[in-house]
Chain A
Amino acid sequence: VQMTQSPSYLAASPGESVSISCKASKSISNNLAWYQEKPGKANKLLIHSGSTLQSGTPSRFSGSGSGTDFTLTIRSLESEDFAVYYCQQYNEYPPTFGGGTKLELK
């Protein structure tokens, strides 16, 4: 299953809201996860099952979608949110990742 993320780069300011899209090449039900990657830190699972926040994920993060189209939304950006975000499907093997979205400070 091919995962296509957009945009690849996104510039925003603290306090703004942003959305990242992830599209699967075939239906993956809601078996989709979102991860955050930051330099020097272990990747962090933010959301699984398309919209379920992993324990410890701030409520300003939300996920939506099912089937082939998914969205990660971050409301009221904080400084610690500037990072790279990946989607990943685990509906079937091999598990596959989107190409990533780098969220940069404007």
Chain B
Amino acid sequence: EVQLVESGGGLVQPGRSLKLSCAASGFTFSNYYMAWVRQAPKKGLEWVATISTSGSRTYYPDSVKGRFTISRDNAKSSLYLQMNSLKSEDTATYYCARHGGILRAPFAYWGQGTLVTVSS
């Protein structure tokens, strides 16, 4: 059974940093592109970052480019999101998601999310 379990969320002040983790199991982690998707309170879903199978290629929307860094450790079946210079508008539940085996694929599996609150 595919499982994605996020951790690392919490309350953080504007301008500070936070690192999220996602532990994956139930599939061969190194075979899949992985992503982070977020959902602000009472808002829709927003894609945040994607990383290739080897980690050599990463993709971001303009809203987080230069502030967020996605990475992975295939030996540990783990995905990470380093978030720097956090803003109030980054407040959201962050979901770890598994793509298909290629970049242009839907998010086949999701975790239950970890809440990040950016506030002073």
Name A's B-contacting residues (CB within 8 A). Answer: 31, 33, 35, 40-45, 48, 54, 86, 88, 90-100
Contact = CB atoms under 8 A, between A and B. Distances in A.
B109 A42 contact: yes
Nearest to A100: B44
Nearest to B106: A33
Contacts of B59: 93-94
**Chain B contact patch, size range:** 10 to 19
Contacts of B106: 33, 45, 48, 88, 90
B47 A45 contact: no
Among A35, A90, A92, A100, the one with the most B-chain Cβ atoms within 10 Å of its Cβ is A90
B45 A88 contact: yes
- 6 smallest beta-carbon distances between A and B, as pairs: A33-B106, A43-B110, A97-B45, A42-B110, A48-B106, A94-B61
A86 B44 contact: yes
Contacts of A95: 47
Contacts of A42: 4, 95, 109-112
16 contacts: A33-B107, A41-B112, A42-B4, A42-B111, A45-B106, A45-B107, A45-B108, A86-B44, A86-B45, A88-B106, A93-B59, A94-B59, A94-B61, A97-B44, A97-B47, A98-B44
B52 to A, nearest CB: 13
Contacts of A98: 44
A2 to B, nearest CB: 12
A99 B18 CA distance: 27
